[in-house]
């Protein structure tokens, strides 16, 4: 291990056997934290080649159990988002794909800090289960075409150990380490086709478009190098996606999109449809126009919404909540937030909006914290909107009255104004791997 650390410190390329020895040894606790920390810092400072990153990904993917999706008929598909605020696209895109006959066996995570978690949002539906054995997970997917589960405890244990160390050694922001962490879980999850939604902007981990490009290319290269059909879309996270931030609030909004509600947020509809279309295109189902027609058809005929309801019921949840979203519990306390000035919304600190929702009880400051499913907010403004002084710009929801003041202040500090109309960035910046 000493020689491997020294080699990477000098910027030299590690071999596949060396990388596998490190991952296996650290997972088995035969390599101590202090040596692994030194290697992670050397990687952070000197980077990794594409070959090294693929070797690291495969070694991590091989560190625990893997899902074998060969029992599922049809092209298997998986989508991964690098995280944002108000991102509920999984509940729209995956039912669309399943309604078109493509099996969706998706494993997702919980939220921490300003980013919401797919599993937390799903668990706001009463009765629903998200913890399954691999056999149950595959059985539900085979029968109903879709299942969204929490990550298996034996899936990529190396990543859990390495990430915990990165978190306390200032080595989280290494693109090769980020890419290997994400892609090791995608490879172990077994899908043939992987579409990556790389977020860019104030609410994303990648604030800069060039960094988002680098991460997208690194992950696509890994996926292709590991024998999976992989591509990425770089999407805008300079403001929350949709209007809602918070668990049950986001489920309600996803149902609006699946129901083709005319009031559904246009940005959420556009991003969700684009992801579904590009996934179909990646899987060879036709050109973008053909794939767009397929997506629109299952939205308009109600099959996508029905597939989401079927999934909820198959996982033990009450499907009537997808048919009547007014059944969700309402928060005990609400507050309208009014603008303190007039002007055009110029920028939104989307991470700040996510933190305001966390303060209301919708998220966790640290792993293990309880969350309130009904807490969160509804935003009434987007970048470019003109706002009068005293106009309501958001509504806060919480069960803790004491959280309202601090969350309101955080939200107001997160929304900035200017006297003239700002330029509006596109929702989809570009694609990688198509």
Distance of CA 164 to the CA centre of its chain: 19
* Phi/psi of residue 209, nearest 5 degrees: -65, -35
CA distance 313 to 306: 11
Specify whether 80 is catalytic.
Answer: yes
Report pLDDT for 364.
Answer: 82
Give the 3-state secondary structure of residue 197.
Answer: strand
Give me the CATH number covering residue 296.
3.40.1030.10
Is residue 173 in some structural domain? no
SS3 of residue 42 by DSSP: helix
Does 361 lie in the same domain as 341?
yes
The dihedral of CA 48, 51, 55, 57: what is its sign? positive
**Average pLDDT, integer, range 263-287:** 97
Local structure of 126: helix, strand or coil: coil
Domain that holds residue 386: 329-418
Q: How confident is the model at residue 113 (pLDDT cuts 50, 70, 90)?
A: low
Q: Is residue 410 part of a domain?
A: yes
Q: How far apart are CA 43 and CA 171, in angstroms?
A: 9
Q: Are residues 102 and 221 in the same domain?
A: yes
Q: pLDDT of 328-377, one tens digit each? A: 999 999 999 999 999 999 999 999 999 999 999 998 877 777 889 999 99
Catalytic residue, from 149, 181, 189, 202: name it.
181
The two beta strands, 146-150 and 104-108, are: parallel
Residue 52 maps to a domain? no
Query: What is the Cα Rg of the chain in Å?
Result: 22
Active-site option among 8, 80, 186, 243: 80
Dihedral of the alpha carbons of 120, 96, 79, 107, in degrees to the nearest 10: 40
3-class secondary-structure state, position 155: strand
Within a domain: 333: yes
Annotated catalytic residue 114: no
DSSP state of 186: H
Segment 105-120 shows an average pLDDT of 82
Considering its fold, how many domains does the chain have in total? Answer: 3
Whether residue 201 lies inside any domain: the answer is: yes
Per annotation, catalytic residue among 8, 88, 110, 185:
185
Residue 262 lies in a domain: yes
Give the residue ranges of DSSP H helices in 301-361. 303-314, 320-323, 350-360
Domain boundary among 324, 344, 376: 324
Choosing from 78, 87, 120, 159, which is the catalytic residue? 159
Is 32 in the same domain as 106?
no
* Helix or strand (DSSP H, E) at 428: strand 428-432
- Residue 385 belongs to a domain: yes
Looking at the domain assignment, is residue 162 inside a domain? no
What CATH number is associated with residue 27?
1.20.970.10
For residue 248, is pLDDT > 70?
Answer: yes
Per the CB < 8 A criterion, the answer to whether 270 and 427 are in contact is yes
Tell whether the model's pLDDT for residue 111 goes beyond 80.
Answer: no
251 shares a domain with 114:
yes
Based on the residue annotation, tell me whether 121 is a catalytic residue of this protein: no
Is the same domain home to 311 and 354? Answer: no
Confidence check: pLDDT of 172 > 90: no
Q: Is 318 one of the annotated active-site residues of the chain?
A: no
Spatial distance between the Cα atoms of 233 and 236, rounded to a whole number of angstroms:
10
Strands 193-200 and 229-236: parallel
User: Average of pLDDT values for 134-160?
Assistant: 91
**Are residues 334 and 315 both part of a single domain?**
no
- Of 114, 128, 124, give the one whose Cα is nearest residue 85: 114
SS (H, E, C) 209-250: HHHHHHHHHHHHHHHHHCCCEEEEEEEECCCCCCCEECHHHH
> Within this chain, do residues 119 and 209 fall inside the same structural domain, yes or no?
yes
CATH at residue 340: 3.90.1170.30
> Residue 207 class from Cβ within 10 Å (0-12 exposed, 13-18 middle, 19+ buried)?
middle
Q: Identify the active-site residue in 20, 166, 252, 335.
A: 166
Per-residue pLDDT of 15-44, as tens digits, reads 999 999 999 999 999 999 999 999 999 999
pLDDT score for 363: 86
Residues 283 and 192 in one domain: yes
Based on the fold, state whether residues 112 and 217 are members of the same structural domain: yes
Contact 275, 89 (CB under 8 A): yes
Three-state secondary-structure class, residue 170? coil
Global pTM exceeds 0.75: yes
398-411 pLDDT, tens digit per residue, is 999 999 999 999 99
Active site residue 160: no
Local structure of 16: helix, strand or coil? helix
Q: Residues 42, 121: one domain?
A: no
Strand ranges in 153-211 using DSSP code E only, listed in sequence order: 193-200
Alpha-carbon distance values, 60 to 160, 162, 232, 315 (Å): 10, 9, 21, 29
Does residue 31 share a domain with residue 80?
A: no
Residue 223, pLDDT above cutoff 80 = yes
Contact 87, 116 (CB under 8 A): yes
pLDDT range class, residue 112, cuts 50, 70, 90: low
Same domain, 147 and 207: yes
Give the C-alpha separation, 181 to 205, whole Å.
14
């Amino acid at each position: 291990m000493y020689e491997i650390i020294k080699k990477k410190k000098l910027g030299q390329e590690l071999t596949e056997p060396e990388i596998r020895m490190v991952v296996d040894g650290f997972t088995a606790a035969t390599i101590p934290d202090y040596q692994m920390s030194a290697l992670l810092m050397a990687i952070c400072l000197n980077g990794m080649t594409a070959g090294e990153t693929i070797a690291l990904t495969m070694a991590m993917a091989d560190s625990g159990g893997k899902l074998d999706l060969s029992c599922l008929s049809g092209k298997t598909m998986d989508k991964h988002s690098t995280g944002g605020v108000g991102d509920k696209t999984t509940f729209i895109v995956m039912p669309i794909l399943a309604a078109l006959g493509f099996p969706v066996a998706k494993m997702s995570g919980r939220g921490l800090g300003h980013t919401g978690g797919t599993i937390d949002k799903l668990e706001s539906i009463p009765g629903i289960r998200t913890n399954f054995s691999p056999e149950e997970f595959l059985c539900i997917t085979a029968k109903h075409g879709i299942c969204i589960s929490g990550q298996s405890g034996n899936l990529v244990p190396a990543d859990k150990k390495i990430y915990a160390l990165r978190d306390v050694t200032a080595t989280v922001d290494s693109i090769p380490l980020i890419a290997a962490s994400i892609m090791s879980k995608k490879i172990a999850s077994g899908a043939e086709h992987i579409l990556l939604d790389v977020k860019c902007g104030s609410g994303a981990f990648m604030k800069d478009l060039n960094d988002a490009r680098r991460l997208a290319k690194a992950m696509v290269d890994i996926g292709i190098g590991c024998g999976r059909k992989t591509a990425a879309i770089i999407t805008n996270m300079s403001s929350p996606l949709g209007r809602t931030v918070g668990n049950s609030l986001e489920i309600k909004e996803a149902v609006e999109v699946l129901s083709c509600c005319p009031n559904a947020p246009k940005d959420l509809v556009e991003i969700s449809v684009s992801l579904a279309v590009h996934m179909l295109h990646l899987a060879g189902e036709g050109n973008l126009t053909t794939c767009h027609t397929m997506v629109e058809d299952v939205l308009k005929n109600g099959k996508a919404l029905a597939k989401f309801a079927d999934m909820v019921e198959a996982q033990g949840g009450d499907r009537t909540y997808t048919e009547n979203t007014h059944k969700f519990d309402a928060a005990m306390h609400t507050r309208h937030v009014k603008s303190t000035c007039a002007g055009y919304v110029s920028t939104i600190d989307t991470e700040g909006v996510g933190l305001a929702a966390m303060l209301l009880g919708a998220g966790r400051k640290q792993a293990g914290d309880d969350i309130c499913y009904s807490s969160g907010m509804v935003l009434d403004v987007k970048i470019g909107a003109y706002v009068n002084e005293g106009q309501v710009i958001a509504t806060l929801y919480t069960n803790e009255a004491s959280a309202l003041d601090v969350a309101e202040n955080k939200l107001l500090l997160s929304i900035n104004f200017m006297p003239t109309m700002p330029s509006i960035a596109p929702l989809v910046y570009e694609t990688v791997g198509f």
